[in-house]
Structure 1
Amino acid sequence: MTARKTTTARKRPAKKCTDCKGTGEITETVRVGSARKHRDTEDRQSALCLACIGTGHAPTN
C-alpha cells in the first residue's frame, strides 16, 4: 500500500495594520492648556498604535 499524501496548511502572511501602516507606532499632536481650552501645538510625539497594540499586524477579529 502506498503512503497517503497529505497537504500542509500554509501560513498566510500577516496583513499590515491600516492605522499605523505596519510600524506599530503612530504620531499624536501635543495638546496643552486646561481641560476646557485645549490648544494643539506644532509638536508631535510617538505613541503605541491601539489598533494592533504595537505589533504592526492587522487585528483578526
Structure 2
Amino acid sequence: MATAKRPATRRKAAPPEPEPAKCPVCKGTGEVSRTVRVGRKRRAVGEQTGLCLNCLGSGDAPAD
C-alpha cells in the first residue's frame, strides 16, 4: 500500500528586527555640517561636513 503524499508546509518568516532609532542630531546620516566663516567681518562662504559627535558617525541614537 502506498503512503499518501502531503503538501509541503511553509515556514513562517521571522518578523524583521526593528530598526534602531536614528540620532536626533544628524538624523541618521552620521555627518553634521558647520558654516565656514572667513574674513575680518566673518562672512559665511560655505559649509564643511564632519563626524557627528553624538553618535560617533554610526547614525544610531546613543543609549542613555
Whether 2:31 is the aligned partner of 1:28: answer: no
- What residue in structure 1 maps to residue 57 of structure 2? 54
Matched residues in 2 for 1:31 and 1:15: separation?
Answer: 33
Letter in structure 2 aligned against 1:50: L
Query: Runs of 4+ in structure 1 displaced over 2 angstroms?
Result: none
Per-residue Cα deviation, 1:1-53 (whole angstroms, up to 9, x for no partner):
xxxxxxxxxx54310001000000011011335xxx67241310101101000
Q: Normalising to structure 1: TM-score of the pair?
A: 0.64
In structure 2, list runs of 5 or more residues that go unmatched: 1-16
Structure (1 or 2) with the larger CA radius of gyration: 2
In structure 1, list runs of 5 or more residues that go unmatched: 1-10
Aligned residue pairs: how many? Answer: 48
SS in 2 for 1:46: strand
8 Å CA contact 1:29–1:40 kept in 2: the answer is no
Percent identity between the two aligned chains: 48
Q: Normalising to structure 2: TM-score of the pair?
A: 0.62
- What residue in structure 1 maps to residue 3 of structure 2? none
